[in-house]
């Protein structure tokens, strides 16, 4: 039986930091031709690591941050987000704290939304609207903060936190993001904080997912990077096969969230030269 997280998840943090910073700088400034990036800063691990990378890539003057709390946002998250702003020397004109509770409440009330998951998704989408509005008005791109663990199992809001222009840490599992964060010197309180999207009161990711990220990442790596079958993954990690099947189901059932909307092609130029409309259409 192997310990989790498995050793294959270890990264050369400095190499990864330099590579991601270089790619982000090239993508924003050269490829997209924009002047900077906008980040939704939550006080959590992923957004903090992304902010550190963005400042390393672009400079503090080219990074803008929005802190967008609601009524369920803990005070420590606001404190940690502001500490990151201070540590990165982001200019005062480049960040704002905006309470989005009234906007979320108005939408939820108008549509009679009572389900906490639906309301949580409204919250995530409101945040993304604001990030894109700021980016569009400042010649910037929205820099996403999603990691590989959550993207792979679909633990994100479609057209919400995944509705961004570029995702610098999206090929790093959560345990690898934590390694990178330690290397970059992000605040310790952010590193040890339990991950949470903060979409409702006492919302914790590990409770919703049903396992630790160390175990989740190990399963994902063995199943979808090494392509071991579920039984082999379970044997390697000394766990019940049902856990592996559960993770596999999360990946398969969320595939639509990682793809562009399906387009039902009808134009002849959309198909091969021998394509014809079905006979019953004539």
> What's the average model confidence in pLDDT over 233-244?
97
Residue 274: pLDDT band by 50, 70, 90 thresholds?
A: low
Identify the CA nearest to 95 among candidates 55, 49, 146: 55
> What's the average model confidence in pLDDT over 78-97?
98
User: Higher-confidence residue: 267 or 42?
Assistant: 42
Asked whether the domain spanning 210-259 has the same topology as the one spanning 9-193, the reply is no
Look up residue 67 and give its DSSP letter. Answer: E
pLDDT higher than 60, residue 241: yes
Tokens representing 156 are 């994100």
Per-residue model confidence as pLDDT tens digits over 60-84: 999 999 999 999 999 999 999 999 9
**Segments in the chain forming alpha helices (H):** 13-25, 45-58, 75-87, 101-110, 116-137, 148-153, 174-184, 188-192, 205-209, 213-220, 230-237, 241-253
pLDDT number for residue 267: 77
Domain 9-193 CATH superfamily: HUPs (3.40.50.620)
Kindly report the average pLDDT of the chain as a whole number. Answer: 94
Least confident segment among 4-13, 175-184, 221-230, 263-272 = 263-272
> What's the average model confidence in pLDDT over 161-188?
97
Q: Which residue has the tokens 């924009």?
A: 34
> CA torsion sign, 165 to 171 to 172 to 174?
positive
Per-residue model confidence as pLDDT tens digits over 110-128: 999 999 999 999 999 999 9
pLDDT higher than 70, residue 275: no
Residue 268: pLDDT band by 50, 70, 90 thresholds?
A: low
> What's the average model confidence in pLDDT over 139-166?
97
Identify the CA nearest to 199 among candidates 247, 161, 246, 256: 161
User: Higher-confidence residue: 18 or 200?
Assistant: 18
> What's the average model confidence in pLDDT over 187-208?
89
Domain ranges of the chain: 9-193, 210-259
Quick one: three-class SS letters along 141-173? EEECCCCHHHHHHCCCCCCCCCCCCECCCCCCC
Tokens representing 9 are 């998840």
Domain 210-259: assigned CATH number: 1.10.10
pTM of the model: 0.92
pLDDT number for residue 173: 98
Identify the CA nearest to 103 among candidates 73, 124, 80: 124
Residue 282: pLDDT band by 50, 70, 90 thresholds?
A: very low
Residue 202: pLDDT band by 50, 70, 90 thresholds?
A: confident
User: Higher-confidence residue: 187 or 201?
Assistant: 187
């Amino acid at each position: 039986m192997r310990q989790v997280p498995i050793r294959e998840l270890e990264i050369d943090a400095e190499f990864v930091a330099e590579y991601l910073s270089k790619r982000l700088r090239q993508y924003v400034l050269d490829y997209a031709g924009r002047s900077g990036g906008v980040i939704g800063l939550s006080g959590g691990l992923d957004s903090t690591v992304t902010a550190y990378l963005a400042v390393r890539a672009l400079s503090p003057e080219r990074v803008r941050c929005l802190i967008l709390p609601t009524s369920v946002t803990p005070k420590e998250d606001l404190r940690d987000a502001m500490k990151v702003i201070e540590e990165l020397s982001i200019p005062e004109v480049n960040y704002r704290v905006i309470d989005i509770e009234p906007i979320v409440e108005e939408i939820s009330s108008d549509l009679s939304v009572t389900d906490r998951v639906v309301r949580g998704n409204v919250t995530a989408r409101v945040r993304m609207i604001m990030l894109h509005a700021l980016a569009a008005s400042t010649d910037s791109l929205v820099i996403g903060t999603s990691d590989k663990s959550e993207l792979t199992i679909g633990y994100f809001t479609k057209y919400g936190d995944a509705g961004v222009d570029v995702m610098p840490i999206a090929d790093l599992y959560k345990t690898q993001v934590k390694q990178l964060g330690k290397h970059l010197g992000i605040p310790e309180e952010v590193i040890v904080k339990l991950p949470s999207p903060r979409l409702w009161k006492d919302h914790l990711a590990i409770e919703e997912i049903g396992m630790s990220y160390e175990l989740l990442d190990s399963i994902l790596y063995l199943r979808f990077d090494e392509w071991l079958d579920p039984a082999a993954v379970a044997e390697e990690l000394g766990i019940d096969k049902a856990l592996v099947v559960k993770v596999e189901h999360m990946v398969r059932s969320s595939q639509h969230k990682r793809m562009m909307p399906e387009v039902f092609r009808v134009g002849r130029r959309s198909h091969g030269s021998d394509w014809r409309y079905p006979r019953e259409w004539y």
